[in-house]
Structure 1
Amino acid sequence: MTSPPASHPALPGLPALAWQALRADRLLHLLLAALLALTLCGPTPVRAYGALVDWPTIAALTGLLALTQGLELSGVLAWLGRRLVAVMATERRAALLLVASALLLSTVLTNDVALFVVVPLTLGMCKLTGMPAARLVVFEALAVNAGSALTPIGNPQNLFLWQLSQVSFGQFVLHMLPLAALLSLILLALTALTFGARPIALARQVPHGKLDHRLLWVALTLYLPFLVATDLHQAGWALLVVLASMAMLRPAVLARLDWGLLLVFVLMFIDLRLVAGLPQVQAAMAQLGLDRPEHLYFAGIGASQVISNVPAAIALAAYSQDWKVLAYAVSVGGFGTAVGSLASLIALRMVGEARAWALFHCYALPFLALATGIGYALLFRA
């Protein structure tokens, strides 16, 4: 009697792959450790943690991840990447087009939505050509922070401050225009200097995959209604529609979602709001002299580096109603550390390279210093 042939080792299943990803996520580990420390030392009961999470934001992020993943699995991003390569002769031209697109889209779609449009296309094109994906996505992350500063709908902190100020849309734009325009022009110039004139072309070994037309049209059909529903504060119901549609049509879309990113955002909401609620933090804020515009400006930039610019805007608005200074401060504060803007965290997670984090700070920290000086000069020296 012959023995059965030896079987090949089974590939790890999706739960195992998800667990491996979570085990390797250093940011997630840091947030969990911070949560444990805050739970042991802070006054907030654990049962209240759920109320600290901005669930509509989590729902909106989940839906955008699912729709973007659907577009990627449909093959349309690779198709668009090939068309982009066909019309862009050099790395410099391709980089300028993508960074400029991120800038413009962020003024009307918000900075995170602009990244969900541009970054997957960028990653697909870079796979086809060998362009440096990490560096290009870093510039796109900087671009959406610069572009979104212009309008009240460009990012959550602007929307909050616009409602707080009760000024018109046009007045808000006019105030932010000098800062957004200067930062955008400098970033485009830096892009042109960083990316060279090396010709780009499709790699020979890249296969021409077929488009999944059904998945493509479902994702495109749901995209705009999802954004409208989210704007109408119905992100939860819109998310249920997206998840149900993808589960019935292509379950692989949901299996490939970055669930770790969603968990990171949940933990960030809890950790940052627990920190903001500490009596020591509140006492320190009261000693900063935020009635002085210069102090408010630097406090907004500094707070953004630690708790992100959206919570910083909300926290500082409790101490000052000077929306003009606050808007500049938290816009500038979006640069610097990756925590400064949640859009930057999204971009770095999407690129999926460990070196992207170090590369981001090599560009973002000097850009923060430059933006800080520009914002200060426009506010206090004009």
Structure 2
Amino acid sequence: MSLPFLRALRRDRFFQLLMIIGIGLSLCVPFAPRRWLAAIDWHTIITLSGLMLLTKGVELSGYFDVLGRRMTRRFATERRLAMFMVLAAAVLSTFLTNDVALFIVVPLTITLKKLCAIPVNRLIIFEALAVNAGSLLTPIGNPQNILLWGRSGLSFTAFTWQMLPLAVAMMLTLLVLCWFCFPAKALQYHTGTRSPDWQPRLVWSCLGLYIVFLSALELKQELWGLAIVAAGFLILARRVVLSVDWTLLLVFMAMFIDVHLLTQLPALQAISGHIGTLSGPGLWLTAIGLSQFISNVPTTILLLNYVPPTLLLAWAVNIGGFGLLPGSLANLIALRMANDRRIWWRFHLYSLPMLVWAALVGYGLLLLR
């Protein structure tokens, strides 16, 4: 294990917190380490690995510099640029999933910081909120929707239609917030920025590997897809493999194990038996509240054992992606890529009010249906 990797783990306070929580939980439930590996969603880990490699490849190719320079010429003000990035994140998340959308827009946003003076942390926070809002629209926008869609028996269009009111309400809210949080001042360009020196060959190679990887995912051969992507970068540009933030994968593994241990707590198991008897408001608050601590995807899996895939459940677990950091794994991905400790607490200044607003508006819309 390399020294840079160990140094990254020592600096990773969130990973250390997850380890402490895991140790504490393991003392309260039957000690069964063999089950811990089974608790990890390896499909997610492998998918994240491939996406991280592909995104880092495009980033190191210099193409984000080219794209960022074109964007800053097109959008003259900070507000216009911010609203475009938020909309782009939301639209991409509807069909590419929220995680993939972030792997595209966040590195591009970080590149924009080199070209002009923009509040990068604030913009990344809004992009994280945008993918949570945009991805709830379609059955393939996020993992919880995929689960709910499969259980519901609805068509693609029928599922999208039932999610449309909430998606529209959340996106309008975000755009209004964006309007007030990003001023209409002209973008201030940094002096002395050189014309981007990029590598077209590496960009086209990333595109080809991306198509291969997506095809492998579709064929349920994700491990072979990852092997091809990794081998391709080892041949074309070994620095891509060395530059990826591999500690993110350990964070996700620790989260999966912690959630598994949490669900084994006798107190939680006793409560779970009463979920099927909850009223509408009770299930609404339970799904949103539980998502804050074990994330909305495990919450969906847990609740589907006791209640049908209703519209109320679909809206509640998607709203649960706002609020605290663990509410959605997309939050963690966005903030980790920002690589700034200050963003972790600033995120909650926007996400917690968004959670309260989304819960109130969402339930109001349900009553109107």
Q: TM-score when scaled to structure 2?
A: 0.97
Shift in Å at residue 366 of structure 1? 0.2
| CA distance, structure 1, for counterparts of residue 165 and residue 194 of structure 2 | 46
Paired AA for residue 243 in structure 1? A
Q: Runs (4+) of structure 1 moved beyond 3 Å?
A: 287-291
Alpha-carbon displacement from aligned partner over 1:287-331 (angstroms, at most 9, x marks no partner): 456442221111110010000000000101111114211100011
Structure 1 residue corresponding to 2:191, chosen from 194, 204, 208: 204
Paired AA for residue 284 in structure 2? Y
Aligned equivalent of 1:232: 219
Kindly indicate whether the alpha-carbon contact (under 8 Å) linking 2:28 and 2:265 is maintained by their aligned counterparts in 1.
no
- 1:330 is the counterpart of 2:330: no
Aligned equivalent of 1:113: 100
Paired AA for residue 80 in structure 1? L
- 1:29 is the counterpart of 2:19: no
| CA distance, structure 1, for counterparts of residue 304 and residue 333 of structure 2 | 25
| CA distance, structure 1, for counterparts of residue 273 and residue 114 of structure 2 | 50
Shift in Å at residue 375 of structure 1? 1.0
Kindly indicate whether the alpha-carbon contact (under 8 Å) linking 2:109 and 2:120 is maintained by their aligned counterparts in 1.
yes
Q: If you compute each CA radius of gyration, which structure gives the higher value, 1 or 2?
A: 1
The size of the alignment, in residue pairs, is 369
Shift in Å at residue 102 of structure 1? 0.5
Kindly indicate whether the alpha-carbon contact (under 8 Å) linking 1:59 and 1:235 is maintained by their aligned counterparts in 2.
yes
Paired AA for residue 310 in structure 2? W
Aligned to 2:166, the other structure's residue is in SS state helix
Paired AA for residue 260 in structure 2? R
Aligned equivalent of 1:10: none
Structure 1 residue corresponding to 2:239, chosen from 239, 252, 261: 252
- 1:163 is the counterpart of 2:150: yes
Aligned equivalent of 1:75: 62
- 1:366 is the counterpart of 2:353: yes
Aligned to 1:45, the other structure's residue is in SS state coil
Aligned equivalent of 2:91: 104
Alpha-carbon displacement from aligned partner over 1:254-302 (angstroms, at most 9, x marks no partner): 1111111110001111110121122221112224564422211111100
Moved more, 285-294 or 321-330: 285-294
Alpha-carbon displacement from aligned partner over 1:4-23 (angstroms, at most 9, x marks no partner): xxxxxxxxxx9333222211
Q: TM-score when scaled to structure 1?
A: 0.94
| CA distance, structure 2, for counterparts of residue 151 and residue 289 of structure 1 | 26
Shift in Å at residue 231 of structure 1? 3.2
Aligned to 1:41, the other structure's residue is in SS state coil
Tell me: CA distance 1:143–1:290, structure 2 relative to 1, closer, same or farther (3 Å): farther
% identical aligned pairs: 47
Aligned to 1:373, the other structure's residue is in SS state helix
Aligned equivalent of 2:270: 283
Kindly indicate whether the alpha-carbon contact (under 8 Å) linking 2:275 and 2:307 is maintained by their aligned counterparts in 1.
no
| CA distance, structure 1, for counterparts of residue 154 and residue 57 of structure 2 | 39
Paired AA for residue 133 in structure 2? A
Kindly indicate whether the alpha-carbon contact (under 8 Å) linking 1:111 and 1:144 is maintained by their aligned counterparts in 2.
yes
Shift in Å at residue 220 of structure 1? 1.3
Aligned equivalent of 2:135: 148
Aligned equivalent of 2:49: 62
